[in-house]
């Protein structure tokens, strides 16, 4: 007999059942463990509830296909509407693979790294069976930071409660189930870098987390007056860093407030992946509290959902292609000793005739061969592209091993189109994955492009230190009052990439 929904659960309690149904010899399926308690156990009731919440969600509008979602995982009567507010943006979209970044409420603090069930082939819910992408899982398990410990997901709900929403919103996809344990910054970087090659337009990332757990039950009572307002303010503070895809800001929020965000590990890993992917922007799609739902603020859990999309640039695909074509023709002419390509302003897109700043980078199978640019928009953009392409062929760092015409078939060209520089008064304004830096002090001056920091998974402080190093300054020079710090953003685009797995770029 199928179960109907029973007593709802408002937050992160641990269930106790663990069963695996009969399966064929080559299958091991994780049966739904929360159906009938945390969410409806009957197929029709579950599908109806999820569809209703998806239909009711309507704000705000997002035109791009989402890259990622942060979604709550409490019992559906408490968190269902907030979860639907995020999942409605992927409804009807095609994704062939979904990474769900979850954690074990019972065991996450007991192990380091990211757990992947080694032998499971599928997860089951009342809506049907979801196949695990074993190929991706097994590839990840080859990396040190990924491990497999039997029973980590025993009685765990943080991943399972995402699945019915994914099934109703997307339909057919393969699942990569990840349980994030304790990790330091280096391990977050290692895990993110291992996941990056598997991302694409048809891949979705989901981080599972409830937010503030307030009250004596959770041993967190930072305020006692005007609890609803203070909980909303605490949620907004966490949301600000998340919406900017700012891992450092999120960590600072946790350190400053002690905010009891149970899924801080999955959220941190998601932000690291996205920052190493070049950054993202997010909207907060949903917010609620169990205190508002029950009318009892003695103990309350906050639920939030976020939807991440690519940051919008100012150059369309045609302009980017024109810039790359001009850079390629210039490099070929320079290395072959031929006349540089001519550009006729009357026949050139108007934006390329305006003053602009950019960097041109040359790489040979991931090895830097030249990277030169101008920081100020002091000439037409097409002249900047052409001039920097010439200078990249003569990068002084490679005077003893200059790039040659023989390398042309193997060269990859990348352009970073820069926004105007802005003076930084507070280093906390710097976001890894978005900003590039220029630091000057006296006659010393150093510049690093945004991708240098995010490809290495640097923290904000590491980025500042390395920019000082580039300038020939002490690593802590950025703290000195006589140092001037500027930030800028860059639209980074390049020629078609070589196959996945090529070494990371270096500038």
> For the segment 391-413, what is each residue's pLDDT rounded down to a tens digit?
999 999 999 999 999 999 999 99
pLDDT grade for 26, boundaries at 50, 70 and 90: low
pLDDT grade for 80, boundaries at 50, 70 and 90: very high
Question: Could you tell me if 471 and 338 are in contact, meaning their C-beta atoms sit under 8 angstroms apart?
Answer: no
DSSP 8-state symbol, 220: B
pLDDT > 60? residue 14: no
pLDDT > 70? residue 474: yes
- Of 427, 418, 465, the closest CA to residue 446 belongs to 465
- The superfamily CATH assigns to domain 45-309 is LigB-like (3.40.830.10)
pLDDT grade for 110, boundaries at 50, 70 and 90: confident
How many Cβ atoms from other residues are within 10 Å of residue 15's Cβ?
17
> For the segment 285-335, what is each residue's pLDDT rounded down to a tens digit?
999 999 999 999 999 999 999 999 998 888 999 999 999 999 999 999 999
> For the segment 356-370, what is each residue's pLDDT rounded down to a tens digit?
999 999 999 989 999
Per DSSP, the three-state class of 61 is coil
In angstroms, rounded to a whole number, what is the distance separating the alpha carbons of residues 121 and 29? 6
The predicted pLDDT at position 131 comes to: 97
pLDDT > 60? residue 240: yes
> For the segment 423-447, what is each residue's pLDDT rounded down to a tens digit?
999 999 999 989 999 999 999 999 9
- Neighbouring residues of 137: CB distance < 8 A, sequence distance ≥ 6: 116, 117, 118, 176, 177
pLDDT > 70? residue 12: no
Q: How far apart are the first and last CA of the chain?
A: 62
> For the segment 374-387, what is each residue's pLDDT rounded down to a tens digit?
988 999 999 999 99
What is the architecture, at CATH level 2, of domain 317-494?
2-Layer Sandwich (3.30)
Mean pLDDT, residues 459-470:
96
Alpha helices in 336-448 (DSSP H): 350-353, 381-392
pLDDT grade for 243, boundaries at 50, 70 and 90: very high
| Rg value, the chain, Cα | 25
Domain residue ranges in the chain: 45-309, 317-494
pLDDT > 90? residue 48: yes
Burial of 219 (0-12, 13-18, 19+ CB in 10 A): exposed
pLDDT grade for 109, boundaries at 50, 70 and 90: confident
Query: Whose structure tokens read 């769900």?
Result: 100
11 beta partners: none
CB-based burial, 299-336: b 16+ in 10 Å, e otherwise:
bbbbbbbbbbbbeeeebeeebbebbbebbbbbbbbbbe
Kindly state the tokens that stand for 2: 């199928």
Kindly state the tokens that stand for 19: 């069963």
What is the percent of the chain with per-residue pLDDT over 90, rounded to a whole number?
83
The H or E element that residue 411 is part of is: strand 411-418
22-36, 62-76, 140-154, 237-251: range with lowest mean pLDDT: 22-36
pLDDT > 90? residue 89: yes
In angstroms, rounded to a whole number, what is the distance separating the alpha carbons of residues 11 and 217? 11
45-309 and 317-494: same fold? no
Mean pLDDT, residues 233-260:
97
In angstroms, rounded to a whole number, what is the distance separating the alpha carbons of residues 326 and 384? 11
Beta strands in 419-483 (DSSP E): 422-423, 435-441, 444-448
pLDDT > 60? residue 18: no
The predicted pLDDT at position 9 comes to: 55
The predicted pLDDT at position 497 comes to: 65
């Amino acid at each position: 007999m199928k179960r109907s929904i029973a007593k709802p659960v408002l937050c992160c309690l641990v269930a106790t059942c663990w069963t695996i149904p009969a399966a064929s010899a080559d299958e091991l399926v994780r049966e739904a463990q929360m159906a009938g308690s945390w969410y409806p156990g009957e197929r029709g009731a579950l599908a109806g509830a999820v569809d209703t919440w998806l239909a009711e969600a309507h704000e705000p509008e997002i035109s791009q296909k989402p890259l990622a979602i942060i979604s709550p995982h409490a019992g559906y009567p408490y968190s269902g509407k907030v979860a639907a507010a995020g999942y409605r943006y992927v409804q009807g979209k095609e994704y062939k693979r979904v990474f769900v970044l979850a954690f074990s409420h019972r065991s996450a603090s007991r192990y380091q790294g990211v757990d992947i069930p080694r032998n499971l082939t599928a997860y089951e819910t009342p809506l049907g069976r979801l196949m695990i992408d074993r190929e991706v899982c097994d590839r990840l398990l080859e990396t040190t930071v990924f491990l497999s410990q039997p029973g980590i997901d025993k009685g765990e709900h943080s991943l399972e409660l995402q699945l019915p929403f994914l099934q109703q919103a997307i339909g057919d996809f393969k699942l990569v189930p990840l349980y994030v344990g304790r990790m330091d910054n280096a391990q977050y970087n290692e895990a993110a870098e291992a996941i990056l090659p598997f991302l694409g337009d048809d891949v979705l990332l989901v981080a599972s987390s409830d937010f503030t757990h307030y009250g004596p039950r959770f041993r967190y009572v930072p305020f006692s007056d005007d609890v609803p307002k203070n909980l909303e303010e605490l949620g907004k503070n966490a949301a600000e860093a998340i919406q900017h895809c700012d891992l450092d800001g999120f960590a600072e929020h946790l350190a400053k407030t002690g905010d009891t965000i149970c899924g801080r590990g999955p959220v941190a890993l998601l932000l690291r992946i996205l920052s190493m992917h070049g950054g993202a922007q997010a909207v907060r799609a949903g917010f609620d509290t169990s205190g508002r739902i029950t009318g009892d603020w003695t103990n309350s859990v906050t639920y939030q959902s976020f939807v991440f999309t690519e940051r919008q640039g100012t150059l369309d695909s045609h302009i980017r292609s024109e810039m790359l074509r001009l850079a390629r023709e210039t490099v070929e002419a320079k290395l072959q000793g031929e006349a540089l390509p001519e550009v006729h302003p009357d026949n050139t897109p108007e934006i390329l005739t305006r003053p602009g700043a950019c960097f041109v980078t040359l790489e040979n199978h991931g090895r830097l061969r030249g990277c030169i640019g101008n920081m100020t928009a002091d000439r037409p953009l097409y002249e900047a592209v052409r001039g920097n392409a010439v200078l990249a062929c003569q990068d002084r760092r490679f005077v003893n091993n200059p790039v040659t015409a023989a390398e042309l078939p193997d060269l990859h060209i990348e352009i970073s189109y820069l926004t105007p520089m802005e003076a930084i008064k507070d280093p906390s304004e710097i976001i890894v994955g978005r900003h590039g830096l220029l630091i000057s002090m006296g006659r010393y001056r150093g510049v690093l492009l945004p991708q240098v920091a995010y490809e290495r998974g640097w923290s904000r402080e590491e980025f500042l230190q390395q920019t000082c190093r580039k300038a020939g300054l002490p690593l802590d020079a950025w703290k000195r009052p006589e140092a001037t710090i500027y930030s800028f953003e860059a639209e980074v685009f390049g020629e078609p990439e070589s196959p996945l797995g090529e070494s990371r770029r270096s500038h």
